[in-house]
Amino acid sequence: MEKQNLADCYVSEEHGFILQDPLDKLPDYYKPWMDIAEHLTVLIETKKLRDAVHQMPELDIQQLKGHRQKRLARTVLSHMVMAYVWQNGETGGVKLNANRREKRRSWISAATEEKYTGLDPVNAVPHRPSVQVLVVGKVLPRALAVPYHQISLALGLPLIMVHADLVLANWKKKDPLGPLTIENLSTIVSLPGGDNLQGFVLVTLLVEVAAIPAARAIIQAVKSVESDDKQTLIIALQDMECSINKMKEAFHLFYDYVDSDVFYSTIRLFLSGWKDNPNMPEGLIYEGVSEKPLHFSGGSAAQSTIYHAFDELLGIQHRPDSSDFLLKMRHYMPPAHVGFIKWVQEAPKLPAYVLKCEDTALLSIFNQCISALSELRSFHIRIVSKYVTTAGIRARMKKNEVVNHEEQERGTGGSHVMTFLKSVRDTCKEGTLKHSIPGDH
Ligand code: HEM
């Protein structure tokens, strides 16, 4: 594969997987979208977001020019979709009890031209059905669903907000000439959670920023193996280890910028998906797009390309369950970034090369990379324990609710969090290579 040029994968030497200089404005034609995006948090908090979407005209994506305009449109619409679905809380109008569910069952056309004005989407029943579909779930109105589908097709992304929307394309510098530091950054589109939401997105962004040298090092490492250049490979792996350690340092900023209770009680909801989610078992109907409800996993940094590239480079083989989930997450990344992972995957295998070289310095730096990555994953587990497990227990205790272990264990992407994360961290450690150099045991 000829993907040796970072730019071919929208991976830049300077910005890694982050979108370079995201736009924060769209052409005037898209004013109805931008007006909502600018006031998104207030509209959600006053529960007026759905009304605003119902009044939105159906716009055509043809007026969008170039990759950055498309990414901004996708970021704006993704936020609107999450806001629309979760405006009324996690059970907002979806979890119906048997009687109410029976009453609300209606045979309707999901592809109808009818407009839903001011109705709770669960109740929205057009008058003249054409195709009969049993709807017991939510309906995303076509003025949002249709352009969202078009822009998602154009960018090769699923019909839900992903890491690339929430983080990679959602940042701007306050002082354009200033550095990429948290003080000099803000998001372009926000969700409820105030400074904590800003902190959540921007710290995640800074972890990606810290990973930029690692992306360069991966390219260098692949090329060095191809050209049998051991010395350059050692330097590339040193750079990679250093970059992974910097990612961990950036990760620590969560403690300063994100309150775990705000994360748990407010932010987490807007990242939730409608796949394996008991609050939305029926999925979501995208009016004018699909007559059947569709199911998508929520936003998660499991959709961050760099970790997948590390695993491919270092030859880490996750257990089938974990691997299934992680492979699915690749469908939630920009296709060009997946192209980068595939390029690493298809390159000559690094662990085999390291063993073949029988060089102590090379073996040692390879193992240091494995251990840095395992430690990064262990730190991430501590974050998840604080921000999901412990904060969840506290939230339930405050409400005098019984803690349901099954629900505690479910992550934004619907996985069994701790079991999954520990398995991924442990298989990562198992990637350590043993000395095979005679007399060097
Ligand atoms: C408050 C902060 C965070 C929380 C609560 C959190 C939570 C989770 C959860 C629940 C999962 C399991 C998969 C899922 O259900 O989606 C997960 C996976 C993952 N997260 Fe996070 N996460 C946080 C921050 C981050 C950040 C900043 C990164 C890196 C940029 C990251 C990288 C990953 C990766 C790579 C996985 C997949 C497992 C792996 O490869 O080790 N997370 N995270």
pLDDT in tens, 156-171: 999 999 999 999 999 9
Which protein residue has the closest C-alpha to ligand 1 atom 16? 413
Alpha helices for 18-175 (secondary structure H): 31-38, 40-45, 49-54, 66-86, 98-104, 142-155, 163
Of all residues in the chain, what percent carry a pLDDT higher than 90?
76
Mean pLDDT for 376-400 is 93
Rounded distance, CA 389 to CA 188, Å? Answer: 29
Residue 117 has pLDDT above 60, yes or no: no
Probe target for ligand 1 pocket from 380, 427, 428, with the most ligand atoms within 8 Å of CB:
380
β-bridge partners, 173: 185
- Give me ligand 1 centre to Cα 426, in Å: 16
Assess whether the C-beta atom of 204 lies below 6 angstroms from ligand 1: yes
Task: Note the pLDDT of residue 9.
Answer: 66
Which protein residue has the closest C-alpha to ligand 1 atom 32? 301
Assess whether the C-beta atom of 322 lies below 6 angstroms from ligand 1: no
- Give me ligand 1 centre to Cα 301, in Å: 5
Probe target for ligand 1 pocket from 166, 384, 385, 415, with the most ligand atoms within 8 Å of CB:
384
Rounded distance, CA 143 to CA 115, Å? Answer: 9
Helix 305-314 / helix 335-346 crossing angle, nearest 10 deg: 10
Neighbours of 321 (CB within 10 A): 13
Could you tell me the two tokens for 282?
Answer: 């029926």
Please answer whether residues 367 and 235 qualify as being in contact, where contact means their C-beta atoms are separated by less than 8 angstroms: no
Residue 411 has pLDDT above 70, yes or no: no
Assess whether the C-beta atom of 373 lies below 6 angstroms from ligand 1: no
Assess whether the C-beta atom of 263 lies below 6 angstroms from ligand 1: yes
- Give the DSSP letter string of 285-324: EETTT-SS-B--PPP-GGG-HHHHHHHHHHT----HHHHH
Of all residues in the chain, what percent carry a pLDDT higher than 70?
83
Could you tell me the two tokens for 239?
Answer: 């750079």
Rounded distance, CA 188 to CA 193, Å? Answer: 15
Q: Is 108 in a helix, a strand, or coil?
A: strand
Residue 126 has pLDDT above 70, yes or no: no
pLDDT band at 98 (very low <50, low <70, confident <90, very high): very low
Task: Note the pLDDT of residue 415.
Answer: 46
Which protein residue has the closest C-alpha to ligand 1 atom 17? 302
pLDDT band at 438 (very low <50, low <70, confident <90, very high): low
Residue 407 has pLDDT above 90, yes or no: no
- Give me ligand 1 centre to Cα 312, in Å: 18
Assess whether the C-beta atom of 412 lies below 6 angstroms from ligand 1: yes
Assess whether the C-beta atom of 310 lies below 6 angstroms from ligand 1: no
Residue 187 has pLDDT above 70, yes or no: yes
Atom of ligand 1 nearest to the CA of 410: 15
Could you tell me the two tokens for 371?
Answer: 């251990």
Q: Which residue has the higher pLDDT, 398 or 298?
A: 298
- Give me ligand 1 centre to Cα 300, in Å: 6
Q: Is 110 in a helix, a strand, or coil?
A: coil
Which protein residue has the closest C-alpha to ligand 1 atom 9? 411
Q: Is the dihedral of CA 404, 329, 170, 29 positive or negative?
A: negative
Atom of ligand 1 nearest to the CA of 300: 16
Which protein residue has the closest C-alpha to ligand 1 atom 34? 302
Indicate the burial class of 282 (C-beta count within 10 angstroms; 0-12, 13-18, 19 or more): middle
Could you tell me the two tokens for 71?
Answer: 């990414």
Atom of ligand 1 nearest to the CA of 425: 41
Task: Note the pLDDT of residue 257.
Answer: 98
- Could you give the C-alpha distances from 83 to 36, 190, 221, 281, in angstroms and in order? 11, 10, 42, 18
Assess whether the C-beta atom of 192 lies below 6 angstroms from ligand 1: no
Atom of ligand 1 nearest to the CA of 388: 5
Q: Which residues contact 167 (CB under 8 A, 6 or more apart)?
A: 201, 204, 205, 208, 301
Please answer whether residues 14 and 20 qualify as being in contact, where contact means their C-beta atoms are separated by less than 8 angstroms: yes
Please answer whether residues 131 and 290 qualify as being in contact, where contact means their C-beta atoms are separated by less than 8 angstroms: no
Q: Which domains does the chain have, with CATH numbers?
A: 1-17+191-272+304-441 (1.20.58.480), 22-162+277-297 (no CATH)
Could you tell me the two tokens for 81?
Answer: 């979709």
Query: What are the pLDDT digits (tens) for 214-251?
Result: 999 999 999 999 999 999 999 999 999 999 999 999 99
Task: Note the pLDDT of residue 399.
Answer: 84
- Give me ligand 1 centre to Cα 170, in Å: 18
On whether the pTM is more than 0.85, the answer is yes
Rounded distance, CA 39 to CA 33, Å? Answer: 10
- Report which of 362, 349, 344, 268 is spatially closest to residue 306, judged by C-alpha positions: 344
Query: What are the pLDDT digits (tens) for 72-94?
Result: 999 999 999 999 999 998 876 43
Which protein residue has the closest C-alpha to ligand 1 atom 18? 302
- Could you give the C-alpha distances from 237 to 182, 241, 264, 304, 436, in angstroms and in order? 28, 6, 37, 20, 20
Residue 114 has pLDDT above 60, yes or no: no
